[in-house]
Chains A and B, each alone.
Chain A
Amino acid sequence: MRSVRHVILWGLIAALGAGSLGRVALSRGESINAAWLLTAAICTYLIGYRFYARFIATKIFALDADRATPALRKSDGHDYVPTNRWVVFGHHFAAIAGPGPLVGPTLAAQFGYLPGALWIVIGVVVGGAVQDFVILCASVRRDGRSLGQMAKDEIGPVAGITALVAVLGIMIVLISVLALVVVNALKSSPWGTVTITLTIPIAMFMGLYLRFLRPDRVLEASAIGVAMLVGALWAGQWVAANPALAPLFTLSGPTIALLIMAYGFAASVLPVWLLLAPRDYLSAFVKIGVVVALAIGILLVLPPLAMPAVTQFIDGSGPVFSGKVFPFVFITIACGAISGFHALIASGTTPKLLAREPDAVLVGYGAMLTESLVAIMALIAACVLTPGVYFAINAPVAAIGTTAESAALAVAQWGFVLQPGEMDALARSVGETSLLSRTGGAPSLAVGMAHLFDRALGGGGMALWYHFAIMFEALFILTTLDAGTRVGRFMLQDLGGQLWPRFRDVTWQPAVWIASALFVSCWGYFLYQGVTDPLGGINSLWPLFGMANQLLAAVALCVGTTVIIRMGKARYAWTTLVPLCWLLIVVFTAGWQKLFSADPRIGFLSHANKFSALHAAGTLPPGIESLDALPRMVFNDRLDAAVAAFFLLSVIVIVVDSVRTWLAVISGRQPAGSTEVPAQSVSLFVAD
C-alpha cells in the first residue's frame, strides 16, 4: 500500500516538474510567470534528491549508519564534534552560499532566462550537488581530509602541489572580481558608501562587546548588530540627502578600490575576534534572512518574467559580457550550478561535524540544491526588470554612452524599449543619481529585489529596499574578501616558509605584514585594472573567475573519480566522469576562445593586438580618454591571458595525472586498495 502511494506521489512530482519545465522551455513570445520556473526547479531537485543522491549513497559509498564518522571517532570537543544533521546543514549552507549565486545568474540573464535556468537546474542535480556530496563522503571516510591532501594521496604529489597553487591563483581572481562588484555598486553612491562603511565599526563594536562587555553573548551581540545595520541604512539616507555631507561620500571607483584594499589588509592583520568573526556572525544571519525574504517575496508576488526566454545575444554580441551562449553561460554561472570552491568546504569543517554517515545526503547534496534555488531566485529577480532597464544598468559605457538619450538609442537598436525618462525616474525612486552602466550585477539585482519587496509590502519603500539589497550584497562580498585575504596570507606564509622557515611563523609581525601586503596587492592589481577599464572590467574578470571556479570543480571531480575507481567501483565512475567531461569541454572551449579568438571582444590576445595597433597609429578607441591608457590595457590583456593559460595548464596536469592512475587501477597494474580509514562500529564510541 505504501509503495503504491509512493509511486503515485513521485509520479505526480515528476509530471508536475516535466510539465513546468516544458512550459518554461517552450513558451515563446508571451511572458511566463516565475511560478513555472520555480515549480520546475523544485520538482527537479526533489527527484534528484530522492533518487540520484540515494543511488550514489547506496551503490557507491554504501553509507552506513553503523560506521563511525570522524566526528565520533576523533571527538575532541572543538574540531571534531558530532552534530545534529540540520545544524550541519545550516552551517554548511551558510558557508557555501555567498554572492556568487546572486551575481552569476544576474549577468547570465543577458541570454534570456532559459539558458541560465536550464544550466542551474540540470547542472546542480547532475554536477554541482554530486561534486559536493562525493567530496564530502570521501573526506568523511578519510578523517576529514582536505581536497588538497586527498589530491596528493589519491592521485599523486604533482597533482597535490598543482592543486595548492591553483587554489591560491583562483582566490586572487575570486577576491578581485567580487571586490569589483562592490566598487561598481558603491561608485558615486553616498548612501551605499556610508551604509557599507558603517558596517565595519558595527562589527568592531560587536567584537569588543563580545570580548569585554558580555563574553559569549553572541546572539545578543548579533541582535544589536542587526539593529545597528538598520540604523546604518537610515544614516546613509540622511547623509545622501545632506548637501554638505553627500559630496564627501560621493567617491570615484579608484578611491573605493583603494579603500577596499586597505580594508582587506586590516582584516588580515587585525585579531580575528575584533573584525572577522563578528562580521561573519552578522553576515550569516543576514544571509539566511535575505534568502528567506527573497523566497517569500517571490511567492507573494509571483511576478511575470519580463525578459524573453532567449535573447539575440546568444550569438556572442552581448553587451554585459561577450561570447556565445555556449560555452559562456556555463562559465558565467558557476555557483548555483557547480562550484569548485564548495569542494574546499565539503572537505573542511563539515566532514568533522557529521554525526552519522547517511546525513551526508542532506548536507552534501541537499545544501547544494538549496544554493541552486537561491540562484534561480536571483535569476527571477533579474528577469523581473524589463530588458531595456536591465541592459541600461548592466551594459558598460562603451556600449551605451553616458546619457539617458544615448542609452535609450542603444537599447532601441538591440530591439528593446527604454523611455528616455524611465532610467532617471527609476534612479530617483531608489535614491541614486544614475543607474546607467552600473555593471557587475549587484545594482540590477538590487533593483529587481526592491521591486519584489516593494510590491509584496504595498509600495513606497523602493529606495530603502534598494539600499538594503546593496548592503547585504556588499556584506556577503566583504566577508568573502576579508576571510579570503586572511587565508591567502596564511597560504603565502606557508609557501614562503619553504624557503625561509621563520616566514611561516604566524605570530611574527614582519612576516604577517609582508604576506598580507603581498596578497592584497595581487588581488588589488586585478581590481584596480578592472575599475579603470573603460569596458567595465566585469567583461574580462568575470569569465576569468568563472573559468577558475569551474577548473577547481574539475580538480574536485578528478579526485572524486579517483576515489570511486580506487574503491573498486569503476562501473559507477560515470557519476563524476559525466560532469567532469562536460566541465572540461566547457572550460577548454571558453579558455581557448578567451586566449585565441580573433574577435577582440572575446580574445584577450586579439584585443591586446588591436589596442597596440591603435596605439601605434595614434587613434583613440571610443570610451577611452588618453593614449597613455592603451599600453596599460594591452599589458593587462596579456596578463589576463597568462592567468587563463596558467589555470588551463594546471588542470591539464591534474587530469593527465588522474587518468594515469585510473588506467593503472583498471588494468590491474596498481592494486585498487581504498585509502579509507577502516570501518569501526558506532557502538565502540560514546558521544560526549
Chain B
Amino acid sequence: MLRLRRWAQLLRTIIGVPDYERYVCHMRAHHADAPLLTPTEFCTARLNARYSRPGSRCC
C-alpha cells in the first residue's frame, strides 16, 4: 500500500500536479504564522503560474 502511494506520488510529480500537502508542510515548518491558502486557491494559483510563463511546453 505504501509502495503504491509512493508510485502515485511519483506519477503526480512527473506530470506536474501541484502538491498541496507539501505546501502545507512547508508553511507549517517555515511560516507558521502566515495564512494558508485553501486547496482550491492553492491549485488555481499554481496552475495559473504554470501556464503564464514560456517554457512550460515545447514543440
Nearest chain A CB to B42 CB, angstrom units: 8
**Distance A525 CA – B57 CA, assembled complex (angstroms):** 22
CB of B55 closer than 8 Å to a CB of A:
yes
CB of A349 closer than 8 Å to a CB of B:
yes
Q: Are B54 and A171 in contact (CB under 8 A)?
A: yes
**Distance A480 CA – B58 CA, assembled complex (angstroms):** 6
Q: Indicate which residue in A98, A146, A271, A335 contacts B55 across the interface (CB closer than 8 Å).
A: A146
**Distance A232 CA – B40 CA, assembled complex (angstroms):** 30
The segment from A16-24, A277-285, A315-323, A570-578 that touches chain B is: A277-285
Interface residues of A in 486-536 (CB under 8 A from B): 486-487, 490-491, 506
CB of A238 closer than 8 Å to a CB of B:
no
Q: Are A218 and B17 in contact (CB under 8 A)?
A: yes
Q: Indicate which residue in A77, A277, A335 contacts B59 across the interface (CB closer than 8 Å).
A: A335
Q: Are B59 and A272 in contact (CB under 8 A)?
A: no
CB of A96 closer than 8 Å to a CB of B:
yes
Q: Are B22 and A281 in contact (CB under 8 A)?
A: no
**Distance A280 CA – B46 CA, assembled complex (angstroms):** 14
Interface residues of B in 37-59 (CB under 8 A from A): 39-40, 42-44, 46-59
Identify the closest chain A residue to B23 (Cβ): A77
Given contacts A281-B17, A285-B15, contact A75 B26 (CB under 8 A): yes
**Distance A334 CA – B59 CA, assembled complex (angstroms):** 10
Write out, one digit per residue, whether chain B residues 1-33 have a CB within 8 A of any chain A CB (1) or not (0): 000000010111111111110111111010000
Q: Are A490 and B40 in contact (CB under 8 A)?
A: no
**Distance A86 CA – B11 CA, assembled complex (angstroms):** 11
- Residues in chain B near residue A549, CB distance under 8 A: 59
- Residues in chain A near residue B23, CB distance under 8 A: 77-78
Q: Indicate which residue in A78, A83, A271, A484 contacts B46 across the interface (CB closer than 8 Å).
A: A78
**Distance A347 CA – B53 CA, assembled complex (angstroms):** 11
**Distance A341 CA – B56 CA, assembled complex (angstroms):** 10
Interface residues of A in 231-273 (CB under 8 A from B): 271-273
CB of A327 closer than 8 Å to a CB of B:
no
**Distance A98 CA – B55 CA, assembled complex (angstroms):** 13
Q: Are B58 and A95 in contact (CB under 8 A)?
A: yes
Nearest chain B CB to A418 CB, angstrom units: 32
CB of A90 closer than 8 Å to a CB of B:
yes
Q: Are B13 and A272 in contact (CB under 8 A)?
A: no
CB of A385 closer than 8 Å to a CB of B:
no
CB of A179 closer than 8 Å to a CB of B:
no
Q: Are A348 and B56 in contact (CB under 8 A)?
A: yes
Nearest chain A CB to B34 CB, angstrom units: 11
Given contacts A75-B26, A215-B40, A272-B47, contact A345 B55 (CB under 8 A): yes
Q: Indicate which residue in B26, B53, B55 contacts A77 across the interface (CB closer than 8 Å).
A: B26
**Distance A218 CA – B8 CA, assembled complex (angstroms):** 9
Q: Indicate which residue in B13, B15, B58 contacts A98 across the interface (CB closer than 8 Å).
A: B58
Given contacts A486-B52, A490-B52, A688-B25, contact A95 B59 (CB under 8 A): no
Given contacts A76-B26, A218-B15, contact A347 B55 (CB under 8 A): yes
Interface residues on B, range: 35 or more
**Distance A348 CA – B47 CA, assembled complex (angstroms):** 15
CB of A120 closer than 8 Å to a CB of B:
no
Q: Counting chain A CB atoms within 10 Å of each CB, which of B10, B16, B19 scores highest?
A: B16
- Residues in chain A near residue B48, CB distance under 8 A: 272, 506
Q: Are B54 and A277 in contact (CB under 8 A)?
A: no
Identify the closest chain B residue to A345 (Cβ): B55
Given contacts A94-B15, A348-B53, contact A688 B58 (CB under 8 A): no
Q: Indicate which residue in B12, B47, B55 contacts A219 across the interface (CB closer than 8 Å).
A: B12
Given contacts A273-B43, A348-B53, A487-B51, contact A341 B12 (CB under 8 A): no
Q: Indicate which residue in A87, A218, A281, A341 contacts B58 across the interface (CB closer than 8 Å).
A: A341
CB of A66 closer than 8 Å to a CB of B:
no
Q: Are A688 and B29 in contact (CB under 8 A)?
A: yes
Nearest chain B CB to A65 CB, angstrom units: 21
Identify the closest chain A residue to B46 (Cβ): A78
**Distance A76 CA – B23 CA, assembled complex (angstroms):** 8
Identify the closest chain B residue to A80 (Cβ): B26
Identify the closest chain B residue to A686 (Cβ): B29
CB of A566 closer than 8 Å to a CB of B:
no
Q: Are A87 and B15 in contact (CB under 8 A)?
A: no
CB of A603 closer than 8 Å to a CB of B:
no
CB of A354 closer than 8 Å to a CB of B:
no
- Residues in chain A near residue B58, CB distance under 8 A: 95-98, 100, 335, 339, 341-342, 344-345, 480
User: Beyond the given A83-B13, A339-B59, could you list 13 further A-B residue pairs with CB under 8 A, ordered by the A residue number?
Assistant: A75-B26, A77-B23, A77-B25, A77-B26, A78-B26, A96-B58, A100-B59, A146-B53, A280-B16, A339-B58, A341-B59, A344-B55, A480-B59
Selected A-B contacts with CB under 8 Å, 30 pairs: A75-B26, A79-B49, A90-B13, A94-B14, A95-B57, A96-B58, A97-B58, A99-B59, A146-B53, A211-B40, A216-B39, A219-B11, A271-B44, A273-B47, A280-B57, A281-B15, A281-B17, A284-B14, A285-B15, A335-B59, A342-B58, A344-B54, A344-B55, A345-B58, A347-B55, A348-B54, A349-B50, A487-B51, A487-B52, A506-B52
Interface pairs A-B: 8 shortest CB-CB: A77-B26, A344-B55, A348-B55, A100-B59, A90-B14, A483-B57, A284-B15, A77-B23
